Amino acid sequence: MLAALASIALAIPAYAFDFGVSGSMSTTYNITTTTADSSSDAIGSGGFNSDGGAISFSTSHGSGDTSGTLSYAIDYDGDLDETITLSGSTKSGDWTASSSIDYNRGMAGANAGHDKPALTLTDGSATIKMGSAGHIGAAGKGSGGVAGGSVDHNASGFDKAAGAVVGDFQGISYGASFTGGTYTVAYGQETSGSICGAIPDVDSTPSYGATSTGLGVTYETGGIDIAFSFCSGSTASAYDNSSSYGTTGSTMGLGVSMNMGDLTPSFSYGSVSSVGSESEATATGTAMDLTVTMALGDDSAVFQYTSSTGADADNSGSRSGLELGYSTSVGPTTLAVGYGSTSYVNADGVSTVGADGYSMTDIEVNLSYSW
């Protein structure tokens, strides 16, 4: 693959291709104090560390109303991943079609599965997507600093930030604009997968199909941006339509941000609920994010408070987190300094929340460079 990209690069003068190479890395110093539970002593750790990002090669070419980009990236994120991606778009009349295909070879060349892309068709005002895509957005607005102080829907068993618990799912969506905003409606139906792309079957159904229905709305007025998402669906046994095995689930997200010059406050909220029809297993949760960012010339500062709850059929627990961060440029690099803390309250022992009395504080200095 590298040889092929090198050959394309040599052909740039003749065929007017654009060729690019990029990489990134970061180095950190942190001081962390962790208390495992209410009966444990605090333990300190930390020191220097560094991490390399993906190495990427890309080439792009346009001819009339058609353009395409081919890229190759190699990255280590638990195993060594090699990803080959080809994206393209073609305009015909008022409509433009676009799609992207990527293949991940995984560790030792093992293929993780064939790609299942989405086709996007738009005329600039209406947009249709069909295939595997994030048809409905999460609606969350907040983001913190470099320290590990934020909590999310993990308390309810999901690794999702405050907002709707959604992901990619196979389906179709239609989106259009109206005065001041946009709306999107979506429907998904899969022979396997998760409700809304993120809520799994909790009934341990051996084989099942999943359906999802969602709505997303964005609106802006007077410097206030509002986003709302809702998605719900169910799974059913693929063996027997009359079987009681299955799960019903729903999730919603709300995000509001205000543009106040150098100050940008935002609020995000999300909830999720799933119930197994056979086992009657129940998993519910909420997540909240309050973020304030401030521009300080070319620098920026951020304050973020997050909280989340998780519950089963009988009990509940909670997490909370705080982050303070500051970011500036030092020549071609970015320097970020942050403080973060988290704590758990889980006297009833809800499995997804974590140990009661857990707490962590983290001070981190991060210097990053991209080229």
Least confident piece of the model among 189-193, 244-248, 251-255, 287-291: 244-248
Choose among 309, 304, 255: nearest CA to 143. Answer: 304
Instruction: Kindly report the pTM of this predicted structure.
Output: 0.86
Residue 15 DSSP class: H
Q: Is the pLDDT of residue 264 over 60?
A: yes
Q: How confident is the model at residue 78 (pLDDT cuts 50, 70, 90)?
A: confident
User: Where is pLDDT greater, at 107 or 51?
Assistant: 51
pLDDT the model gives residue 139: 96
Q: Is the pLDDT of residue 231 over 80?
A: yes
pLDDT digits (tens, 9 = 90+) for 311-330: 988 889 999 999 999 999 99
Choose among 85, 90, 89, 54: nearest CA to 70. Answer: 85
Bridge partner list, 80: 76
**Taking a C-beta distance cutoff of 8 angstroms, is the pair 92, 108 a contact?**
no
Choose among 122, 207, 216, 203: nearest CA to 166. Answer: 216
- What are the residue ranges of CATH 2.40.160.10 in the chain? 120-370
* Rg of the Cα atoms in the chain: 23
Q: What is the mean pLDDT of residues 246-271?
A: 95
CATH 3.40.30.10 is the classification of domain 120-370:
no
Q: Is the four-CA dihedral 165, 168, 174, 178 of positive or negative sign?
A: positive
Least confident piece of the model among 42-46, 194-198, 213-217: 194-198
Q: What is the mean pLDDT of residues 174-190?
A: 96
pLDDT the model gives residue 242: 53
**Cα–Cα distance between 53 and 62 in angstroms, integer?**
28
**Cα–Cα distance between 171 and 130 in angstroms, integer?**
6
pLDDT digits (tens, 9 = 90+) for 21-34: 999 999 999 999 99
